[in-house]
């Protein structure tokens, strides 16, 4: 269905709405301390629209007043050795590629400062982090003399803070009006040689893999290489590079202020036709994928077997609520101790640690990210548990 509304990225009309899901928790990783609170947590709808001009995909019915980025927000992935190895590699590459030694860096949406601390430690940099949910007690010890934090959203009122490198990881997808946001960052930059770096989910993989578990309310915006480059260029930047990492799950862009009014178009930006085909593929085949997962879970239950989800992240919430699974699965496992003992938004499963499984002894584990499958098997094996491990 084509709707005549304006694209929040390029400002042009004619948006093709191709995927709808209702009864979606408006936040996935707030710590909810009772099952009742979790099941009754406020819900909204997702209706993904595709811009036929720039390729931007967004939730056309998103209400920015609903998500809560407060002290109860718990999204860190740094308890995973797999993820920490990626962070170490990324920080090292950014320092080498952009000369980040003895520089000043700003992170927008820094969480508790884990990556900012790492970037400053490895490059002997000074950093400033912005995040309304920042918890000073969780700051890595080595960050105390290198970084400072502001418990607020980044905005132009902080443009007095000068930086050589301004970056944001896994934040832009939460911004419902990305052109306004990137334009604001452009206006706040004082030096032409300041490099801007963003990391966010890559939408073409989501579409190709029919990854309905990667679509949730907090993520109002979804980008491909081309749509991301078009956004930055339209907001006054020159795009330096585009690439993917982490098994092609994360999309990266670097950019600098464009004073010349001319910009080289990168070959990988030409993706509108491919995006359109992948959008159609997702729209046609996702209902079948959802039905297949329901059948698999019901089949395990009907055989008297126990199944758990591994990861209490937004992926786990989206997976369970899209499938409408509650009592069919009792527990969700997460290695983050700050999530354990709480409950999954929307579906109400209790979140437990790996040691709980020594007594529970599940027959099957559904890993919410295939990149962690071997890590999960190792954790289970250390506890002499050998259930069948599926990955979405």
- What is the reported pLDDT for 273? 96
Q: Please give the structure tokens belonging to residue 232.
A: 């930055």
Tell whether the model's pLDDT for residue 259 goes beyond 90: no
Averaged over 170-186, what is the pLDDT?
Answer: 97
The total number of residues written for the chain in this structure: 392
Averaged over 213-240, what is the pLDDT?
Answer: 97
Rounded distance, CA 249 to CA 200, Å?
A: 8
Q: Please give the structure tokens belonging to residue 299.
A: 């089949």
Left (φ > 0), alpha (ψ -120 to 50) or beta: where does 32 sit?
A: beta
From 127, 169, 154, 138, select the one nearest 72 (Cα to Cα): 138
Pair 103, 123: CB distance under 8 Å: yes
**What 3-state DSSP class applies to 136?**
helix
Output the DSSP codes for 24-64. Answer: EES-SSB-B-SHHHHHTS-EEEEEEEEETTT--EEETT--T
**What 3-state DSSP class applies to 199?**
strand
Q: Which residues contact 392 (CB under 8 A, 6 or more apart)?
A: 211, 213, 293, 315, 319, 366, 367, 368, 369, 370
CA 149 to chain centroid: 22
Pair 321, 294: CB distance under 8 Å: no
Rounded distance, CA 224 to CA 220, Å?
A: 14
pLDDT in tens, 21-47: 999 999 999 999 999 999 999 999 999
Pair 329, 350: CB distance under 8 Å: no
Pair 329, 310: CB distance under 8 Å: no
- What is the reported pLDDT for 264? 81
Tell whether the model's pLDDT for residue 1 goes beyond 70: no
- What is the reported pLDDT for 111? 92
pLDDT in tens, 109-156: 999 999 999 999 999 999 999 999 888 888 877 767 889 999 999 999
Pair 123, 98: CB distance under 8 Å: no
pLDDT in tens, 96-105: 999 999 999 9
- Please give the C-alpha separations between residue 2 and each of 31, 68, 201, 220, 285, in angstroms, as whole numbers: 38, 31, 25, 19, 19
Averaged over 302-330, what is the pLDDT?
Answer: 96
Pair 17, 48: CB distance under 8 Å: yes
pLDDT tier for residue 70 given thresholds of 50, 70 and 90: low
**Residue spans of alpha helices (H) in the chain:** 35-39, 81-98, 114-123, 178-188, 203-208, 225-234, 272-302, 314-323, 357-360, 373-382
Q: Which residue has the higher pLDDT, 19 or 66?
A: 19
| pTM recorded for the entire structure | 0.95
Q: What is the CA radius of gyration of the chain?
A: 21
- What is the reported pLDDT for 136? 84
- What is the reported pLDDT for 195? 98
Tell whether the model's pLDDT for residue 261 goes beyond 80: no
pLDDT in tens, 267-301: 899 999 999 999 999 999 999 999 999 999 999 99
pLDDT in tens, 195-211: 999 999 999 999 999 99
Tell whether the model's pLDDT for residue 179 goes beyond 70: yes
From 191, 150, 163, select the one nearest 104 (Cα to Cα): 163
Averaged over 329-350, what is the pLDDT?
Answer: 97
Place of tokens 């990149």: 371
Tell whether the model's pLDDT for residue 2 goes beyond 70: no
Pair 36, 344: CB distance under 8 Å: no
Rounded distance, CA 342 to CA 32, Å?
A: 5
Tell whether the model's pLDDT for residue 5 goes beyond 90: no
Q: For the chain, give the mean pLDDT.
A: 95
pLDDT tier for residue 59 given thresholds of 50, 70 and 90: very high
All structural domains of the chain: 1-295 (3.40.50.150), 296-391 (3.40.50.720)
- Please give the C-alpha separations between residue 254 and each of 9, 95, 202, 265, 308, in angstroms, as whole numbers: 18, 13, 15, 14, 39
């Amino acid at each position: 269905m084509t709707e005549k509304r304006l694209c929040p990225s390029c400002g042009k009309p004619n948006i093709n709405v191709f995927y709808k899901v209702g009864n979606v928790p408006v936040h996935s990783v707030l710590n909810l301390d009772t099952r009742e609170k979790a099941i009754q947590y406020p819900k909204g709808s997702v209706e993904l629209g595709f811009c036929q001009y720039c390729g931007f995909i967004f939730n056309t019915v998103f209400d920015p007043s609903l998500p809560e980025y407060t002290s109860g927000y718990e999204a860190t992935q740094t308890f995973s050795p797999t993820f920490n190895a990626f962070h170490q590699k990324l920080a090292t590459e950014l320092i080498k590629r952009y000369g980040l030694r003895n520089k000043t860096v700003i992170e927008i949406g820094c969480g508790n400062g884990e990556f900012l601390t790492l970037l400053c430690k490895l490059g002997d940099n000074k950093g400033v982090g912005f995040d309304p949910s920042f918890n000073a007690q969780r700051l890595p010890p080595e960050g105390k003399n290198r970084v400072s934090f502001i418990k607020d959203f980044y905005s132009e009122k902080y443009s007095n803070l000068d930086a050589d490198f301004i970056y944001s990881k896994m934040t832009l997808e939460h911004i419902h009006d990305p052109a306004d946001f990137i334009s604001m960052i452009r206006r706040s930059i004082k030096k032409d040689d300041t490099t801007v770096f963003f990391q966010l989910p890559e939408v073409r993989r989501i579409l190709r893999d029919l990854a309905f578990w990667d679509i949730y309310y907090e993520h109002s915006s979804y980008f491909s290489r081309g749509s991301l480059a078009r956004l930055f260029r339209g907001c006054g930047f020159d795009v330096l590079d585009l690439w993917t990492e982490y098994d092609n799950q994360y999309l990266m862009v670097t950019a600098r202020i464009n004073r010349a009014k001319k910009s080289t178009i990168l070959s990988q930006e030409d993706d509108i036709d491919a995006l359109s085909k992948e959008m159609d593929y997702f729209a046609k085949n996702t209902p079948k994928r959802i039905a297949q997962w329901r059948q698999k879970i019901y089949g395990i239950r009907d055989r008297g077997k126990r199944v758990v989800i591994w990861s209490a992240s937004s992926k786990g919430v989206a997976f369970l609520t899209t499938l409408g699974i509650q009592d069919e699965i009792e527990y969700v496992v997460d290695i983050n101790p700050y999530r354990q003992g709480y409950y999954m938004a929307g579906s109400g499963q209790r979140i437990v640690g790996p040691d709980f499984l020594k007594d529970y002894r599940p027959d099957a584990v559904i890993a919410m990210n295939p990149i962690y499958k071997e890590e999960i098997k190792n954790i289970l094996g250390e506890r002499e548990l050998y259930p069948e491990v599926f990955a979405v």
